[in-house]
Amino acid sequence: MIQYKHASVAAFEGYAGSSRSGFRAEVENQRSLGQLDNLLTYFDERQAGATLSGPAATRIAKTLDSILDNLDPLPAMIADRGRLRAMLASLARTLHVGVLADCFFDPGTAACLKRATGATGPLTTLCQPTLCPNACITARHRPAWARAAEEAANLLKEKRLSQLQRSILQQNLERARTVLNGIDKDRSAPGS
């Protein structure tokens, strides 16, 4: 229920969504603050030398780097977190944190929307993090990819698999290993 956001829909678009108390607005405000906090983490990690991977990595890295350039034009100038938050606010509105990747949602390029009709937001159940131009993978996503690789490798040991099942599992294992290699390469790069 939580994975497919059914709990969120039931709680915030059902009885809580019709309340005049402002509860739903408070929840939305807290969600947007959480998005901004996540983006501040991206910024801090990028400043510390972390690299991003995934199809959206280049776009997000350029945005974070340009914000850093605008934020710190003089060597003696100390930037405050409030100014940084204001500069990251528009990018934070597009951030949707995920298990395998984070989505910097752009409806024009979202792979998940090409597979569904009528949706206006990201569809996490249809996410293709290695293919979607909105997906950004960081070291924080490594445990989920490692688990996926381990599960695929264990399932491939099963002798009763059909050739099709074996082929799909092998593709999933290769995809997970490619992502893991990218994350591990970034971690072992000089200066990391």
Residue 180 lies in a domain: no
- Res 70: pLDDT: 78
Residue 83 lies in a domain: yes
- Res 169: pLDDT: 96
- Res 8: pLDDT: 53
List of E strands, the chain? 95-96, 102-104, 135-136
- Res 1: pLDDT: 47
Residue 152 lies in a domain: no
* Host domain of residue 65: 6-96
Residue 61 lies in a domain: yes
Other beta carbons less than 10 A from residue 145's beta carbon: 23
Residue 116 lies in a domain: no
pLDDT-based confidence at residue 34 (cuts at 50, 70, 90): confident
Task: Read off φ and ψ for residue 173, nearest 5 degrees.
Answer: -65, -45
pLDDT-based confidence at residue 18 (cuts at 50, 70, 90): low
Residue 18 lies in a domain: yes
Coil vs helix vs strand at 21: coil
Cα dihedral 181, 185, 188, 192 sign: negative
Residue 156 lies in a domain: no
| Mean pLDDT estimate for the chain | 82
- Whether the CB-CB separation of 91 and 39 falls below 8 Å is answered with yes
Give the total number of structural domains in the chain: 1
More confident residue, 150 or 4: 150
Residues paired with 104 in a beta bridge: 95
pLDDT-based confidence at residue 192 (cuts at 50, 70, 90): very low
- Res 166: pLDDT: 96
- To the nearest whole percent, how much of the chain has pLDDT over 70? 77
The tens digit of pLDDT for each residue in 63-104 reads 988 888 877 655 555 567 788 888 888 888 889 988 999 999
Give the residue carrying structure tokens 């996926």.
148
Q: Is the pLDDT of residue 9 over 60?
A: no
- Res 189: pLDDT: 56
Residue 150 lies in a domain: no
- Whether the CB-CB separation of 116 and 126 falls below 8 Å is answered with yes
- Res 134: pLDDT: 95
The tens digit of pLDDT for each residue in 117-133 reads 888 888 888 889 999 99
More confident residue, 87 or 167: 167
